Amino acid sequence: MRLGIAHARFNAEVCDALLESARAEIARAGVQADYVAVPGALELPLALQWMAQSGRYEALVALGAVIRGETYHFEVVARESARGVLDVALDSGLPVANGILTTDDEAQAFARREKGAEAVRVALAMARLRRELTEQWR
């Protein structure tokens, strides 16, 4: 099985921690993965779309961190990145796990660094389900 992982560079320390936990889970699962870095959470859906269109992956994972600031921008980025990730899944038919954190501060984000591993587990579970259903329906 091959996963595609798109990860944001904005909020780099948090995103690096998410990526580290995702890599560890990928190694535990014994699957292959390719990684693409993008500037921020809003760029994740487009990178995921390109990865889905390649036909190389059985599932995709989005990793990023949107940390509340003093402006409305937080709500826009949080909502639109999540919507974009879901759109890619629905448009492509590929499982896409959303590992984009939306937190009030960095401490909350670091406390959730294992969400990278969790997103990998979700992507793998959904890819397996897709395989099972495909076999069932043949």
Catalytic residue annotation: 73
What 8-state DSSP symbol labels residue 32?
A: E
Share of the chain residues as helix, strand and coil, in percent rounded to the nearest 5: 60, 20, 20
For 27, 84, 93, 132, 138, the CA distances from 115, given in Å and listed in that order, are 16, 19, 23, 25, 35
How many CB atoms sit inside 10 A of residue 62's CB?
A: 28
